[in-house]
Structure 1
Amino acid sequence: MEKTKVENGRSENKKITAGVLGIALGSFGVHKFYLGYKKEGIIQIVATFVTCGLGGFIGFIEGIMYLTKTDEEFYQTYQVGKKPWF
């Protein structure tokens, strides 16, 4: 389990790692598991298999979205607010 650094009362931002995982391994939901969204990660895997791989585009799009957000926006939306999809 990865420990997060705490700086100024805030835990480490996982934006870049989650974004790269979403782009590279998004079809397997790895970026979801990394952010702590276990149920959504399983849904992503199932969607990929049911759609013969087309569900993997969701992970790719999410990875791009993660990387285009500001650090603060990503942190507040996905780490604090726990928004699981898009």
Structure 2
Amino acid sequence: MLGDAKEGAKKAADKAGEFAEEAKEKAKETFEDVKESASDFAEGAKETFENVTGENKKVLAGILAILIGSLGVHKFVLGYNKEGIIQIIASVVTCGIAGIIPFIEGIIYLTKSDEEFYNTYQVGRKPWF
């Protein structure tokens, strides 16, 4: 009886060892799959972000110019700090009448194609209209 118990324990230990090895292999495979999926996702997200960046600035700058353009925020978003300060000063001096300029700029920004906007205002650095 003691021999049967030892033999049963040994079989159970061997079986547990086999299950442990199988689990280890499955874990390695799963880890590699997850690692590959994460890498693919990161690469895709990076490509998407790079492709959308120009459009986001166009829409953001256009909407800001229309809504709160007299504060020059759209100029700061595009990196035109000097022009942003000039817009703020012009709006204060003219009691907000200079706010018509960014309103027109916002409409122009939104009606340009993404490529044309990017080349004109982000690469070409054209500060006004």
Fold match by TM threshold 0.5: yes
**Which whole-Å CA distance do the structure 2 matches of 1:45 and 1:58 have between them?**
12
Q: Aligned residues, how many?
A: 79
1:31-79 CA-partner distances (Å, limit 9, x unpaired): 0000000000000000001111101111111000000001100000000
Q: 1 or 2, which has the higher strand percentage?
A: 1
Which of the two has greater helix per residue? 2
User: What are the ranges of 5 or more consecutive residues in structure 2 without an aligned counterpart?
Assistant: 1-48
Higher relative contact order (CA 8 A, sep 6+): 1
RMSD in angstroms over aligned alpha carbons? 1.1
Distance 1:6 1:40 in 2: 26
What is the CA–CA distance in structure 2 between the aligned matches of 1:59 and 1:45, rounded to whole Å? Answer: 11
Identity of aligned residues (%): 67
TM-score normalised over the length of structure 2: 0.59
CA distance in 2, matches of 1:39, 1:30: 12
Greater Rg over alpha carbons, structure: 2
* Unpaired stretches in structure 1, ≥5 consecutive residues: none
**Aligned match for 2:86, one of 32, 37, 43:** 43
Q: Return the alpha-carbon distance in structure 2 between the equivalents of residues 79 and 32 of structure 1.
A: 11
Q: 1:29 aligns with which of 69, 72, 95?
A: 72
